Amino acid sequence: MAFQIPFKFSGSSSDASIAARSRPSKMMDYDQPLVWVTVLLMMFGLVMVYSASIALPDSPKFAYLNDKNEYFLYRQMMYIAVSMAAAAVVFQVPVAVWQKWAPMMFIGTLVLLAIVLIPGIGHSVNGARRWIPLKVMLLQPSEIMKIAAVLYAADFTVRKQEYMHKLTKGFLPMMVAIGLVGGLLLMEPDLGAFGVIVCIAMGILFLGGINIVWFGGIGALLVLIFSAIIALSPFRRARMFAYLDPWADGHALDKAYQLTHSLIAFGRGEFFGVGLGGSVEKLFYLPEAHTDFIMAVIGEELGLAGVLVVIAMFYWLVKRAFDIGRQAIALDQIFAGLAAKGIGIWIGAQTFINMGVNLGLLPTKGLTLPLMSFGGSGVLFNCVGLAILLRIDYENRVRMRGGRT
């Protein structure tokens, strides 16, 4: 017995140690909260698109719908289904493949931006030529360019890491590339998308270690460029004056019409809203209520509480993107880390601009709320971008387990 007790104790400890090592890891295979927050935003957006668009068939502008009040609901459901299927496919593509093809994707999207401007091919809405008509949807190349800009800027920063402190080799090539994008977008015109893409490129270059002096100087130059674009465009200049004093005579019923009715919607909503479906502003007072100004409808129907819920979900999404990027960089995956943070910058910048416009903090721009506003291209490429983010996180988890991607 004296020898049996130590022997049994030693064996039990060894068995327990082996069992502990062979026990499956509690780490999830993929980021389930990221998936659920994305799906919740799309489902929330689906409900609000239906609410904001239900009265549109009664307008002469949408007479072709023949009183199909569920038209926009069914279209958005189709867009979401296609987007989720596309995201599932994109998730299977390794990050290394995106890095390899990033330059070609950027060039290809530049070509699409040029094709949009060709008469007879590009589709115009309200004087803006931004879409290529397909049988099932209108393709908006500027949405693809947001992803292409993320991947290209991340790849450029990795390839040119040793030159990031030099102007000619470190920044000038990227400035030329983004300048080409800007020139094409301003011809559509789409200043809002150009602003988002500039934020993406500058953000990734900053995170990649560009010389801070050059970064500050270039930032100041960009402010001057955007100011000049506004000053030299009578339409944009009028919008800016209307934004500065939206309630003035001549502004409220003209260039500030959307802004004033958006502010009225938020005012009616107060803390808890007038109730889902109870919006008055969506009844032909607030133009584009189901696209650019869906946040105003949320504010009117669900109040401050609903707005704060949406802000909290987007904040979590952006924070999660930066956390994934930080983890990738810690694992020495620089391209993946910068791409993840670039996706966070993209979603964060576009959300901030859209909400800022709705709340009167920024001049009116035609930018949708990611994942929530009506539109096929927007939802599709938002989901593609987030699928790439999910893939980066998946590869992080595989590496932390000691595996290979």
**pLDDT (tens digit per residue) in 106-147:** 999 999 999 999 888 888 877 778 888 887 788 899 999 999
Residue 5 has pLDDT above 90, yes or no: no
Task: Give the phi and the psi of residue 132 in degrees, each rounded to 5.
Answer: -110, 115
Tell me the per-residue pLDDT of 326-384, one tens digit each, with 9 for 90 and over. Answer: 999 999 999 999 999 999 999 999 999 999 999 999 888 878 999 999 988 999 999 99
Tell me whether residue 47 is in a domain.
no
> Distance (Å, rounded) from C-alpha 47 to C-alpha 76?
10
| Residues linked to residue 128 through DSSP beta bridges, in sequence order | 125
Higher pLDDT, 154 or 250: 154
User: Containing domain of residue 172, as a range?
Assistant: 54-400
Higher pLDDT, 14 or 210: 210
Residue pair 152/105 in contact by the 8 Å Cβ criterion = yes
pLDDT for residue 207:
87
The packing angle between helices 172-187 and 95-116, to 10°, is: 40
> Distance (Å, rounded) from C-alpha 198 to C-alpha 402?
37
DSSP 248: S
Tell me whether residue 252 is in a domain.
yes
pLDDT for residue 7:
37
Where are the alpha helices (H) located in 65-94, listed in sequence order? 71-91
Across 276-301, average pLDDT: 92
> Distance (Å, rounded) from C-alpha 107 to C-alpha 152?
10
Residue 2 has pLDDT above 70, yes or no: no
pLDDT for residue 3:
39
CA atoms within 13 A on the CB side of 18: 6
> Distance (Å, rounded) from C-alpha 289 to C-alpha 85?
27
pLDDT for residue 77:
96
Where are the alpha helices (H) located in 188-293, listed in sequence order? 191-207, 212-232, 234-244, 257-269
Tell me whether residue 7 is in a domain.
no
Tell me whether residue 80 is in a domain.
yes
How many domains are there within the chain?
A: 1
Handedness of CA 262, 264, 269, 271 (dihedral sign): positive
pLDDT for residue 10:
45
312 Cβ neighbours under 8 A, 6+ residues apart: none
Tell me whether residue 300 is in a domain.
yes
Tell me whether residue 264 is in a domain.
yes
Tell me whether residue 35 is in a domain.
no
